[in-house]
Amino acid sequence: MEEIRICPEHGYYRGEECKCGFRGSVILEKERVERLGRFISGLLRHFPDRFKLEMDKNGWVEFDKLVKVVKRRYKWANQWLIKAVIYSDEKGRYELKDGKIRARYGHSVDVELSDYPEAKEEVLYYGTSEEEAIRLLEIGIKPVNQRYVHLSTTLEKGEEIARLRTDDPIILKVDVKMAKKYGVKFLKVNKDIVLAEEIPPECIIDVIKK
């Protein structure tokens, strides 16, 4: 996790230099970025109830209410620092709209994200380990402790995810068109990630070893 700085032209960014080369001053140091980020994503993905944060069926909560919960835990926090974390997030984890906020992916709570657009990709990728791949080829890809299966839009992103868990990544290639015939819906939540409820084993059409 990197500290957050601000560029007069491009707004909040992470790291030392903005993409334009500008070196802004630090507005939130690393450790606080990490703490805030972990708490916000936890609230929006896993434990809104624990903090009495009301979430609708599509995963939205009132931004003001989230700010209140965060401030109760971290006295130094405020809505601007929370927005800094959200807007500088390079993985596109959050969506902030009309005074409401939600996580785009990563939920373990039961949410319905079917309002996201249908993915147009013809193939998608799922990064995993070798042992896991053998099992998935048999039973298909199902969410484990998560509401949805998370697929990657590119081979590279699939490999990146697999490398978080193993040094010998396996990337499964999914035939989207075929899966749609099985009734699978593909929700495109950001440029890198597509969610689905389940991928039947027949729709895994290639196993790529990296």
User: Tokens 């994200």 correspond to what residue?
Assistant: 113
Answer yes or no whether residue 20 interacts with Zn ion by CB under 5 A: yes
Q: Strands 170-175, 100-103: parallel, antiparallel or unpaired by DSSP?
A: unpaired
Answer yes or no whether residue 23 interacts with Zn ion by CB under 5 A: no
Answer yes or no whether residue 68 interacts with Zn ion by CB under 5 A: no
**Closest approach of Cβ 22 to Zn ion, in Å?**
4
Among 1, 6, 7, 137, binds Zn ion (CB under 5 A): 7
Residue 155, number of CB atoms within 10 A of its CB: 16
Contacts of 191 (CB under 8 A, 6+ apart): 92, 153
CA–CA distance, 27 with 33 (Å, rounded to integer): 10
Q: Classify burial at 112, counting beta carbons within 10 Å of its beta carbon; exposed 0-12, middle 13-18, buried 19 or more.
A: exposed
For helices 30-45 and 63-73, give the axis angle rounded to 10 degrees.
130
**CB closer to Zn ion out of 19 and 163:** 19
Answer yes or no whether residue 9 interacts with Zn ion by CB under 5 A: yes
Tokens of 41: 């994503």
Among 4, 12, 14, 18, binds Zn ion (CB under 5 A): 18
Contact region with Zn ion (CB under 5 A), list: 18-26, 103-111, 181-189, 200-208: 18-26
* Residues in a beta bridge with 188: 194
**Closest approach of Cβ 83 to Zn ion, in Å?**
17
**CB closer to Zn ion out of 7 and 155:** 7
**Closest approach of Cβ 26 to Zn ion, in Å?**
15
Answer yes or no whether residue 110 interacts with Zn ion by CB under 5 A: no
Q: Is 3 helix (H, G, I), strand (E, B) or coil?
A: coil
Answer yes or no whether residue 6 interacts with Zn ion by CB under 5 A: no
Contact region with Zn ion (CB under 5 A), list: 12-20, 48-56, 88-96, 201-209: 12-20
Footprint of Zn ion on this chain (CB under 5 A)? 7, 9-10, 18, 20, 22
